[in-house]
């Protein structure tokens, strides 16, 4: 273990705490740190998927009473085939362009529903989330910010949004761990770091769950949207930097 590894574990705890409070955001921070410290994509992406599977599993358990199970079913119906159809092409995609496109999609998703003719219905939204998770999620790793808006339903309490989003993310990351292994990427190349990160994200989730009770529905809605904006801007920045350095 190096000091960088210790710092990564600390970021894992903090990012899981954020996701425990707001429902998303922590994953994008964590994968960004993986790349910032010099991890190669072949190491960073499978490791991230394994850690996020554990993180979202713990968050699902914390909010299991509030999960909308039918939403996860529609999500999985699309995510399962999409993940394995895209897996063989993972090594050939320019991630910089993917990040720029995603940044635009996320910002577009924040347009108030009254500004469009008809908001996307629940089932189509969950299927779309599965398609996005299983396709573009294979390239960028973190998908909560991509599909988060599709789970922000006006009829749901914040706990329902967090729990259902966590369950679908758990399913998506689990599929990715299997799919990465299928095409030759090893999620267990650094077992000690993986183990410590898993412990850190479980602890962070527990802390985030406790802090969530102090956040009102209105504060949650504002925090949720602010995180989406900030993370989309981060994606755009990373995309432009990636193209500039090519």
pLDDT tens digit sequence for 71-125: 999 999 999 999 999 988 877 777 677 678 767 766 776 766 555 455 678 899 9
Say which range, 66-75, 111-120, 203-212, has the weakest mean pLDDT: 111-120
Domain that holds residue 180: 3-244
> pLDDT tens for residues 164-192?
998 999 999 999 999 989 988 888 888 99
- Is residue 135 within 8 A of residue 179, CB to CB? The reply is no
Domain count, the chain: 1
- Report field, pTM of the whole predicted structure over 0.85: no
pLDDT, residue 185, reads: 84
| 216-244: pLDDT as tens digits | 767 766 776 777 677 678 878 888 988 88
Question: Whole-angstrom Cα distance, residue 200 to residue 136?
Answer: 27
């Amino acid at each position: 273990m190096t000091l960088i590894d210790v710092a990564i574990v600390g970021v894992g705890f903090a990012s899981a705490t954020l996701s425990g409070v707001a429902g998303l955001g922590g994953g994008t921070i964590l994968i960004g740190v993986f790349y910032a410290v010099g991890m190669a994509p072949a190491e960073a992406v499978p490791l991230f998927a394994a850690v996020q599977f554990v993180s979202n599993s713990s968050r699902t358990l914390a909010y299991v009473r509030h999960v909308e199970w039918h939403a996860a079913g529609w999500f999985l119906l699309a995510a399962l085939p999409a993940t394995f159809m895209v897996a063989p092409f993972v090594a050939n995609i320019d991630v910089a362009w993917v990040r720029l496109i995603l940044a635009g999609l996320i910002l577009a998703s924040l347009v108030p529903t009254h500004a469009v003719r008809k908001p996307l219905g629940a089932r189509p939204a969950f299927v779309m989330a599965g398609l996005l998770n299983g396709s573009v999620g294979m390239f960028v790793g973190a998908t909560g910010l991509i599909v988060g808006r599709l789970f922000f339903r006006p009829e749901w309490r914040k706990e329902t949004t967090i729990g259902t989003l966590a369950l679908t993310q758990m399913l998506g990351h689990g599929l990715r761990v299997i799919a990465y292994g299928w095409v030759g990427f090893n999620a267990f190349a650094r077992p000690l770091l993986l183990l410590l990160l898993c412990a850190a994200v479980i602890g962070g989730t527990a802390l985030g769950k406790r802090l969530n009770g102090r956040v009102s529905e209105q504060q949650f809605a504002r925090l949720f949207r602010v995180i989406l904006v900030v993370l989309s801007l981060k994606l755009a920045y990373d995309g432009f930097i990636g193209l500039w350095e090519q």
